[in-house]
């Protein structure tokens, strides 16, 4: 998109966004996205604020605001009267202005979510399985989209603007770790899931790595608004993550930056193993099976684990030890201010992991390092699906200068 070289910096909730508008009519679409992005980040803005932050004239701002209001993308609030001059009218995002679908494809379950323009979940569907195959995912989405869209009032159904997919890359490479049949996981080798789903739904479809999508959800919708340089860790069937630098996601050369699973850490015998072998729900599943216990609650009710507190405590200690080693290694390379830990697990378990990881990190020799603050994630089990749904939101309506999206 065209940009003005004379950029002025304005502070948003989580990042500094040096963006300027243009008063040339040919850049109206860009200016609309710019205004929407600022209102989205700030929550409420008056016309005078938008003019000051973008460099757009008051007349241009008025035209853009009228256009966005006519499209039902923004709404006016009650006038706020100051000590002098005309009262200002705050603008905010209209939650019913647009809707987005997000699909999370996991190694043990899939989720399909519908969010509004403000990022609030409106409805969700979940499917558990021993391992995923393309046909079952396509069927789940094809029937699920109809159900979710029909949950909206008839007048709003045409405002569903796209489907985002969050999925692990190269699923077939994790057959052994997922305890899945080789022939079934090999079905993913020749599957272009985005194209397959685009053929069964009448909307644009986008694709992103699942852990990166979860990181995006924390960045955009999370509550740690002052965190703008952090390592994000998501504990699912495996463990993954993302890297946020100066308020934007750093995707890396292949879009896989922050793929923490292969990071080497010490195993039970002191020999190096991958982080995913020591910090993943898959490990707890194996511990449960070895003890003759049913692991299905891990996937069927990720917000409520019951009946195995003893093994959960043992697992948390293993996870914390591995995460602490990974965090110290990462902090030695990038001076992260924060580390945010989230996952498809109950909030109490997540809190215990954060507390235990903080303690484990302080056992290391940290001379020469400024240890990052370890925080709990604020999005939770829906992070990957919510991050997927944000892909069409940004691509169609907002300016995202840091994240590269795979658009249809």
Q: Which fold has domain 9-93?
A: Arc Repressor Mutant, subunit A (1.10.10)
**Per-residue pLDDT reduced to its tens digit, 295-321:** 988 888 888 898 888 999 999 999 999
**Per-residue pLDDT reduced to its tens digit, 166-176:** 998 888 887 77
Considering the chain, what is the average pLDDT of its residues? 87
Which region among 51-55, 155-159, 316-320 has the lowest average model confidence (pLDDT)? 51-55
Give the pLDDT of residue 85.
58
Give the pLDDT of residue 400.
59
The more confident residue out of 391 and 303 is: 391
Cβ density class 209-222: b for 16+ within 10 Å, e for less: bbbbbbbbbbbbbb
What's CA 77's distance to the chain center, in Å? 29
Which region among 46-60, 167-181, 225-239, 310-324 has the lowest average model confidence (pLDDT)? 167-181
pLDDT, average across residues 122-139? 94
Domains 98-212+385-397 and 223-378 share a fold: yes
Nearest in space to 339 (alpha carbons), one of 322, 349, 352, 324? 324
* Domain boundaries of the chain, sorted by first residue: 9-93, 98-212+385-397, 223-378
* Residue whose structure tokens are 């209102």: 39
pLDDT, average across residues 377-383? 93
210-221 vs 383-397: helix axis angle to the nearest 10? 70
DSSP string, 179-213: T--HHHHGGGTT--HHHHHHTTSSS-EEEEEHHHH
Is residue 86 within 8 A of residue 74, CB to CB? The reply is: no
> Is the pLDDT at 385 greater than 90, yes or no?
yes
> Is the pLDDT at 31 greater than 80, yes or no?
yes
Query: What does R_g of the chain's alpha carbons equal in angstroms?
Result: 22
Give the pLDDT of residue 44.
86
Which region among 83-87, 252-256, 294-298 has the lowest average model confidence (pLDDT)? 83-87
> Is the pLDDT at 402 greater than 60, yes or no?
no
> Is the pLDDT at 13 greater than 90, yes or no?
no
> Is the pLDDT at 67 greater than 90, yes or no?
yes
Question: In CATH, which superfamily holds the domain spanning 223-378?
Answer: ATPase, nucleotide binding domain (3.30.420.40)
Is residue 391 within 8 A of residue 405, CB to CB? The reply is: yes
Question: In CATH, which superfamily holds the domain spanning 98-212+385-397?
Answer: ATPase, nucleotide binding domain (3.30.420.40)
Angstrom distance (rounded) from CA 31 to CA 54:
9
Give the pLDDT of residue 86.
66
**Sign, CA torsion 174/177/183/185:** negative
The more confident residue out of 7 and 319 is: 319
What is the model's pTM? 0.82
**Strand, helix or coil for residue 2:** coil
**Per-residue pLDDT reduced to its tens digit, 104-126:** 999 889 999 999 999 999 999 99
């Amino acid at each position: 998109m065209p940009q003005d070289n004379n950029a002025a910096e304005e502070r948003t909730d989580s990042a500094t966004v040096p963006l300027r508008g243009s008063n040339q009519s040919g850049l109206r679409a860009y200016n609309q996205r710019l205004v929407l992005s600022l209102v989205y980040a700030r929550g409420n803005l008056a016309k005078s604020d938008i003019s000051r932050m973008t460099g757009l004239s008051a007349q241009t701002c008025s035209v853009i605001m009228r256009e966005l209001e006519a499209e039902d993308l923004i709404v006016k609030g009650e006038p706020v009267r100051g000590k002098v001059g005309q009262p200002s009218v705050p603008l905010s995002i209209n939650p019913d202005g647009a809707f987005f679908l997000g699909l999370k494809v996991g190694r043990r379950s899939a989720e399909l979510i519908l969010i509004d323009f403000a990022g609030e979940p409106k409805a969700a569907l979940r499917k558990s399985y021993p391992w995923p195959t393309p046909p079952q995912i396509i069927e789940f989405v094809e029937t699920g989209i109809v159900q979710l869209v029909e949950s909206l009032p008839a007048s709003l159904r045409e405002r569903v603007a796209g489907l985002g997919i969050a999925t692990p890359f190269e699923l077939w490479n994790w057959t052994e770790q997922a305890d899945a049949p080789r022939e079934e996981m090999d079905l993913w080798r020749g599957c272009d899931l985005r194209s397959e789903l685009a053929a069964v739904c009448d909307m644009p479809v986008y694709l992103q790595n699942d852990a990166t999508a979860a990181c995006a959800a924390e960045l955009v919708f999370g509550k740690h608004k002052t965190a703008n340089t952090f390592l994000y860790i998501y504990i699912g069937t495996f463990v993954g993550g993302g890297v946020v630098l100066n308020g934007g996601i750093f995707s890396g050369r292949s879009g896989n930056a922050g793929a923490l699973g292969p990071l080497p850490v010490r195993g039970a015998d002191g020999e190096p193993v991958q982080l995913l072998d020591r910090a993943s729900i898959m490990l707890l599943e194996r511990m449960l099976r070895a003890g003759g216990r049913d692991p299905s609650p891990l996937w069927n009710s990720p917000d409520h684990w019951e009946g195995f507190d003893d093994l959960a405590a043992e697992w948390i200690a293993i996870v914390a030890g591995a995460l602490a080693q990974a965090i110290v290694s990462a902090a030695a390379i990038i001076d992260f201010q924060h580390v945010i830990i989230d996952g498809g697990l109950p909030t109490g378990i997540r809190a215990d992991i954060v507390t235990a990881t903080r303690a484990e990190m302080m056992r290391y020799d940290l001379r020469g390092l400024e240890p990052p603050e370890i925080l709990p994630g604020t999005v939770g089990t829906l992070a990957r699906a919510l991050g997927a749904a944000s892909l069409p939101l940004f691509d169609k309506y907002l300016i995202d200068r840091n994240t590269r999206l795979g658009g249809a």
